[in-house]
Amino acid sequence: MGSGMEHKNALGYGLVICLAAVVTGYMWYVFWFLQRRVATNVQFRPGQAAPPVAEAGIDEATLKCYPKMAYSQAKLEQGTTATCCSICLGDYRDTDVLQMLPQCGHQFHVDCINRWLRSHASCPNCRSLQAPGS
């Protein structure tokens, strides 16, 4: 009877050791994954200042001042080569009205960019700040 009890104890200790090894391995993997994720999110070079973070959107009065034009006009006058809105991914039609961001010149459907700029003060393509005075 003592031999059976020793076998159960050995099995129990083995399970505890295996479980501890699995938990430790999982914790190391999570730590490695988080460190790697933080490292890949850094998009500027060491020694270079971090880009400014826009925390608030742009007010309606300012949005109304941004230039608007038909896509057909933008192709002729601005030399626009974009064929689709990078926000909604919808193809531009010649009659679509686009709004140009003054700081970078990128253009988008009016509704798409206004919705974006109400909560962000930067261009969705290049991240340049679009707030007045920037």
- Residue 51 domain flag: no
Report the distance separating Cα 38 and Cα 52, nearest Å. Answer: 18
The predicted model gives 7-28 an average pLDDT of 84
Bigger pLDDT: 50 or 87? 87
**pTM of the full structure:** 0.56
Going by pLDDT thresholds of 50, 70 and 90, the confidence category of residue 129 is confident
Burial annotation 95-127 (CB, 10 A radius, 16+ → b, else e): ebebbbbeeeebbbbbebbbebbeebbbbbeee
Q: Find the domain containing 92 and state its range.
A: 60-117
Report the distance separating Cα 53 and Cα 47, nearest Å. Answer: 18
Per residue in 57-106, pLDDT tens?
Answer: 888 888 898 999 999 988 888 777 888 999 999 999 999 999 999 988 89
Number of domains making up the chain: 2
pLDDT of residue 71: 92
Query: Domain holding 103: CATH number?
Result: 3.30.40.10
- Residue 54 domain flag: no
- Residue 1 domain flag: yes
| pLDDT-wise least confident of 33-37, 49-53, 98-102, 115-119 | 49-53
